[in-house]
Amino acid sequence: MKALERLEKEIEAGSYSHAYLLIGGKDQDKELFLQKLIDAKGCLPVDRVAIEPLIEAGKKAEIKIEQIRGFIHEISLSSHGPCRFGIIRHADKMNTPSANALLKVLEEPAKNVILVLIANTEKILPTIRSRCRIYRLQSEMVSGNTFSYDSMIDGEIVPAFKQIESIAADLQAEIFLGELESRLREKLLETKSMSWLRAIELTQETKRRIRGNANPRLALESLILKIRIECKIHI
pLDDT single digits (tens) 11-55: 988 989 999 999 888 888 888 899 999 999 999 999 999 999 987
Q: How far apart are CA 44 and CA 51, in angstroms?
A: 17
Based on the domain organization, do 111 and 28 belong to the same domain?
A: yes
Tell me: do 117 and 56 sit in the same domain.
yes
Domain housing 212: 141-230
| Residues forming a β-bridge with 135 | 22
Q: What is the mean pLDDT of residues 75-85?
A: 94
Nearest 10 degrees: Cα torsion 122, 127, 128, 134: 60
Q: What is the pLDDT of residues 140-173, one digit of tens each?
A: 444 443 456 777 777 788 888 888 888 887 667 8
Query: Which residues are CB-contacts of 157 (< 8 A; sequence separation ≥ 6)?
Result: 224, 228, 235
Alpha-carbon distance of 138 to 152, in angstroms, equals 17
Q: Please tell me whether residues 103 and 172 are part of one structural domain.
A: no
In a domain, 168, yes or no: yes
Give the DSSP H/E element, type plus range, for residue 85: strand 84-89
In a domain, 235, yes or no: no
Residues 91 and 152 in one domain: no
Tens digit of each residue's pLDDT (9 = 90 or more) over 187-204: 787 777 888 888 999 999
Around Cβ 234, how many Cβ atoms within 10 Å?
Answer: 7
- DSSP β-bridge partners for residue 114: 85
Contacts of residue 72, Cβ cutoff 8 Å, sequence gap at least 6:
101, 102, 105
Same domain (yes/no): 15, 123: yes
Whole-structure pTM value: 0.61
* Whether 133 and 153 share a structural domain: no
Q: Do residues 218 and 195 share a domain?
A: yes
Of 138, 162, 178, the residue that ends a domain is 138
Rounded Cα–Cα distance for residues 141 and 128 (Å)? 24
Which amino acid, 35?
A: Q
